[in-house]
Amino acid sequence: MVETVGWASSVVLVVTIVTQIHKQWRTRSSEGVSTWLFVGQSIASLGFTVYSWLVRNWVFVVTNALLLVAGIAGFVITLHFRRAAGPSAQR
């Protein structure tokens, strides 16, 4: 039962982040989204992935590895749409 709670929570968290990134891609806009959100998320996810691996917690290894990939994707998408929008969008 404990593992089920962990995996279910992992799915909810990953789907939430991926939904936000998908919305940015679909609307072709990163308006209102902080680049630092994805930078911080990626750094934290990398650290948590390593930590989780060291303590052999596979729920968190998988979750944080997926969040790291999502954070990098979100960062790249945010930069792409800000550059495409021109100098006024890069503030």
Question: Is residue 48 assigned to a domain?
Answer: yes
Residue 40 lies in a domain: yes
| DSSP string for 50-71 | HHHHHTT-HHHHHHHHHHHHHH
Q: Judge whether 13 lies within some domain.
A: no
Q: What's the number of domains the chain is made of?
A: 1
> Among 29, 8, 14, which Cα is nearest to 70's?
14
Q: Tell me, what's the pLDDT at 30?
A: 83
* Domain carrying residue 47: 33-85
Residue 52: which residues within 8 A CB-CB, separation 6 or more?
58, 59, 60, 61, 63, 64
Report the chain (91 residues): mean pLDDT per 10 consecutive residues: 88 90 88 86 93 94 94 92 73 49
Within a domain: residue 4?
Answer: no
pLDDT at 15: 92
pTM above 0.85, yes or no: no
The answer to the question of residue 68 being in a domain is yes
Q: Is residue 52 part of a domain?
A: yes
